[in-house]
A and B are shown apart, each in its own frame.
Chain A
Amino acid sequence: MEKVRPNFEKGGRFEKLYRTFEAFETFLFVAGNVTNRGSHIRDAMDMKRTMFHVVIAMTPVLLFGMWNVGFQHYKAIGMEVDLLDQFLFGLIKVLPIIVVSYASGLAVEFVFASIRNHEVNEGFLVSGLLIPLIIPVTTPLWMVALATVFAVIIGKEVFGGTGMNILNPALLARAFLFFAYPSYLVGDDVWIYTNLQEGQQLVDAFSGATPLAYLALGEVEKLPSVLEMFLGTIPGSIGETSTLAVLLGALVLIATGVGSLRIMLSVVAGGLFTGLLFNIFAVNPYMEIPAYYHLIMGGFAFGTVYMATDPVSASQTGTGKYIYGFLIGVITLLIRVVNPAYPEGMMLAILFMNVFAPLIDHYVVQANMKKRLKRMQTAEVKTT
Chain B
Amino acid sequence: MSKVIKIKRGLDIPLLGDAEKILQTPPRATEFAVKPPDFHGLVPKMMIKEGTRVKAGSPLFFDKYNEDVVFTSPVSGTFTELVRGAKRRIMEIRIMPDPEDDYIDFGAESLSAMNREQVIQKLLKSGLWPMIRQRPYSVIANQNDTPRSIFVSAFKSAPLTPDMDFVVNGQEDDFQAGLDVLGMLTDGDVHLGIHADQTMSKAFTEAKGVRVHRFKGPHPAGNVGIQIYHVQPVNKGEIVWYADVQDVIIMGRLFRKGIYDARKIVALTGSEVMNPRYYRIITGAQINSFVANNVRSEEGVTPRFISGDVLSGEKIASNGYIGFYDDQITIIPEGDKPELLGWLIPTIDKFSVSRTFFSFLMPWMKYRHNTNIRSGVRPFVITGLYEKYLPMDIMPMQLIKSIMINDIDMMEKLGIYEVAPEDFALCEYVCPSKIEIQTILREGLDTMRKEFS
Interface residues of chain A, those whose CB is within 8 Å of chain B, are: 26, 28-50, 52-53, 119, 121-123, 160-164, 255-258, 260, 262, 311-312, 314, 316-318, 321, 365, 368-369, 371-373, 375-376, 379-380
Q: How far is the CB of B189 from chain A (nearest CB, A)?
A: 13
- Tell me whether A47 and B375 are in contact in the complex, defined as CB-CB below 8 angstroms, given that A29-B338, A29-B342, A316-B397 are known contacts: yes
What is the CA–CA distance of A160 and B381 in the complex, to the nearest angstrom? Answer: 13
- Tell me whether A314 and B383 are in contact in the complex, defined as CB-CB below 8 angstroms, given that A29-B340, A41-B13, A44-B357 are known contacts: yes
When C-beta atoms are compared, the residue in chain B nearest to A376 turns out to be B235
B40 at the interface (CB under 8 A from A): no
Q: Which residue in A49, A162, A256, A375 is a CB contact (below 8 Å) of B378?
A: A162
Chain B residues whose C-beta falls within 8 Å of the C-beta of A257 in the assembled complex: 354-356
Q: How far is the CB of A293 from chain B (nearest CB, A)?
A: 31
What is the CA–CA distance of A37 and B372 in the complex, to the nearest angstrom? Answer: 12
B304 at the interface (CB under 8 A from A): yes
Q: How far is the CB of A359 from chain B (nearest CB, A)?
A: 14
Q: How far is the CB of A265 from chain B (nearest CB, A)?
A: 13
Chain A residues whose C-beta falls within 8 Å of the C-beta of B372 in the assembled complex: 30, 32-35, 42
The digit string for B338-352, where 1 denotes a CB below 8 A from any CB of A, is: 111111100000111
Chain B residues whose C-beta falls within 8 Å of the C-beta of A42 in the assembled complex: 371-374, 428-429, 431, 434
When C-beta atoms are compared, the residue in chain A nearest to B148 turns out to be A383
B437 at the interface (CB under 8 A from A): yes
Q: Which of B384-433 contact A (CB under 8 A)?
A: 384, 387, 393-395, 397-398, 413-415, 421, 425, 428-433
Q: Which of B324-376 contact A (CB under 8 A)?
A: 330, 332, 334-344, 350-357, 369-376
When C-beta atoms are compared, the residue in chain B nearest to A48 turns out to be B343
A-B pairs, 8 with minimum CB distance = A163-B379, A30-B342, A46-B375, A44-B350, A38-B438, A29-B338, A48-B343, A369-B413
B313 touches A40 (CB 8 A): yes
What is the CA–CA distance of A312 and B304 in the complex, to the nearest angstrom? Answer: 36
Q: Which residue in B237, B433, B436 is a CB contact (below 8 Å) of A37?
A: B436
Interface residues of chain B, those whose CB is within 8 Å of chain A, are: 13, 15, 233, 235-238, 304, 306, 310-313, 315, 330, 332, 334-344, 350-357, 369-384, 387, 393-395, 397-398, 413-415, 421, 425, 428-434, 436-439
What is the CA–CA distance of A376 and B236 in the complex, to the nearest angstrom? Answer: 7
What is the CA–CA distance of A119 and B375 in the complex, to the nearest angstrom? Answer: 10
What is the CA–CA distance of A256 and B382 in the complex, to the nearest angstrom? Answer: 13
* A-B contacts besides A36-B315, A45-B356, 4 pairs, CB < 8 Å: A44-B350, A47-B432, A48-B375, A379-B238
Chain B residues whose C-beta falls within 8 Å of the C-beta of A44 in the assembled complex: 350-352, 357, 374
Most A CB contacts (10 A, CB to CB) among B375, B377, B415, B437 go to: B375
B341 touches A163 (CB 8 A): no
A260 touches B384 (CB 8 A): yes
What is the CA–CA distance of A125 and B13 in the complex, to the nearest angstrom? Answer: 30
What is the CA–CA distance of A41 and B306 in the complex, to the nearest angstrom? Answer: 11
Chain B residues whose C-beta falls within 8 Å of the C-beta of A39 in the assembled complex: 310-312, 425, 428-429, 438
Chain A residues whose C-beta falls within 8 Å of the C-beta of B379 in the assembled complex: 121, 160-164
- Tell me whether A317 and B370 are in contact in the complex, defined as CB-CB below 8 angstroms, given that A26-B376, A49-B356, A375-B233 are known contacts: no
B387 touches A318 (CB 8 A): yes
- Tell me whether A49 and B344 are in contact in the complex, defined as CB-CB below 8 angstroms, given that A119-B378, A368-B393, A375-B235 are known contacts: yes
Q: How far is the CB of A163 from chain B (nearest CB, A)?
A: 3
Chain A residues whose C-beta falls within 8 Å of the C-beta of B351 in the assembled complex: 43-44
Q: Which residue in B373, B394, B395, B436 is a CB contact (below 8 Å) of A34?
A: B373
B430 touches A47 (CB 8 A): no
A40 touches B306 (CB 8 A): yes
Chain B residues whose C-beta falls within 8 Å of the C-beta of A317 in the assembled complex: 383, 395, 398
Chain A residues whose C-beta falls within 8 Å of the C-beta of B344 in the assembled complex: 48-49, 52
- Tell me whether A43 and B332 are in contact in the complex, defined as CB-CB below 8 angstroms, given that A53-B356, A162-B381, A311-B381 are known contacts: no
